[in-house]
Each structure stands twice: as structure tokens, then as C-alpha cells.
Amino acid sequence: MAELPIIDAKGKAKGGLAAADSVFGSPVKTHVMRLGINAQLANGRAGTHSSRTRGMVRGGGAKPFKQKGTGRARQGTSRSPLMPGGAIIFGPKPRKYRQCLNKKVKRQAITSALSALAGEGAIKVIDDFGIKKPQTKEMAALLARLNLDGGKTLILLSELTPEVALSARNIPYVKVASTEEMNVLDLVNHDAILTDTASVRRIEALLGSEEAAS
């Protein structure tokens, strides 16, 4: 069983939490992670880029200048791609960039990212945030006590409480996300994960079995 360190709000160690090897101790498959990241980035593209063809450019009814005597290359229309303000040759048109991955590949990408972070000791389980009301100053002090103020931190929770979510939203390089929205791109883009026991169990329920990927 993989073991995740448990700490309190003061940063003191309080033992370890046994976690499923299938989620936090599985082989790190970087090529699968790359597939998941590429698919997520591609699916986020709007694909609304467009350029004007010759049929969309105004003008072109008259010859822009005489055939000979100008020293310039001959032109028959101002809509030519060779003319300023003319059409675009092979320009981009609206298209879909969507990539489809099966559930097993998505699951392996996320478990690989979680296992890589767990292997580095970058996943910390806190017993209680100790924040009673939304206050950015308290959250910043908490992260400093946990030595999480020097990099990018992902606070991953199964139940997003206003006290935690509102306290962390204005802190640079800190993101609060639900376990239901967990994705490989967020996991790779952050240096550490701060979570709680209930969230770890929820992650195991979502990813811990092959049946979850079917």
C-alpha cells in the first residue's frame, strides 16, 4: 500500500495514510500522460480561426495598374494573394480539434500523475484546515506553515467549502478544485497537492478499480 503523509494545520506530522497502490502507487506511464495532456489541450481549442479567400475579398473588378512600364510584376486583380489586402493562400478555416480517449487511457493518465506526485512526497493530507471563515490571510499563513508557499499548489477536495475555496482563490499559483473535476493537466502543472482523508477516499473510489474505467 502507498502511504501519504498526514499533517495538521501547524505543519506537524501525524503519521501516514494508507492509500491504494492502483491509484497512488501505480507505474508512471509518461507516454499515457502525454496523450491525456494533448487531448485536454486540443479539446480546449475553439477552432474558430478563419481567413478570407479570393471570393471574400472586396474589389478586384479593375486591373490595379497597367500591364507594362511600371517595373512591377503584372497583376490582373487586387484580390490576388500577392497583393496587399488580398486573399490568403491556404489560410486557416474553422475546424474541430477534438480528440477522443477511452476511459482506461484517461484513468491511467491521472493515476500516473498521482503516482508520480506521491512518489516525490508532493501529496500532503491535512486533518483539518482550521479555517472558520473565508480569509485569504489565514490560508496564506497555512500554506507557509506547510512549506507550500514556494510553488504551485493544487487544493483537491471532494467537498468544496466556501471557507477554503474563497480563502485560496486570490493567492497566486494556488488552485482549488473538486475531485470530480480532477484532470491530468492540473496534476502535472502543480508542484504539490493538498487534500484531506475524505478526498483521498473519493479519489480511490473514482479511480481505484478497473471497473471504474469501463
DSSP 168-211: HTTSTTEEEEEGGG--HHHHHH-SEEEE-HHHHHHHHHHHSSGG
- Taking only the tens place, the pLDDT of each residue in 77-116 is 999 999 998 999 999 999 999 999 999 999 999 999 999 9
- The CATH superfamily label for domain 2-45+101-213 reads Ribosomal protein L4/L1 (3.40.1370.10)
Which pLDDT score, from 0 to 100, does residue 172 have? 94
**What is the Cα gyration radius of the chain?**
27
Residues of the chain with CATH 3.40.1370.10: 2-45+101-213
- Report helix, strand or coil for 19: strand
Bridge partners of residue 153, in order along the sequence: 174, 192
The pTM of the full predicted model, rounded to 2 decimals, is 0.83
Which pLDDT score, from 0 to 100, does residue 2 have? 86
Which pLDDT score, from 0 to 100, does residue 201 have? 95
- Taking only the tens place, the pLDDT of each residue in 48-86 is 999 999 889 988 888 999 999 999 999 999 999 999 989
- Taking only the tens place, the pLDDT of each residue in 28-55 is 999 999 999 999 999 999 999 999 998 8
Which pLDDT score, from 0 to 100, does residue 214 have? 38
User: Using alpha carbons only, what angle is made at residue 208 by residues 203 and 210, rounded to the nearest 5 degrees?
Assistant: 140
Which pLDDT score, from 0 to 100, does residue 209 have? 59
- 157 and 199 Cβ atoms separated by less than 8 Å: yes
The one-character DSSP state at 126 is E
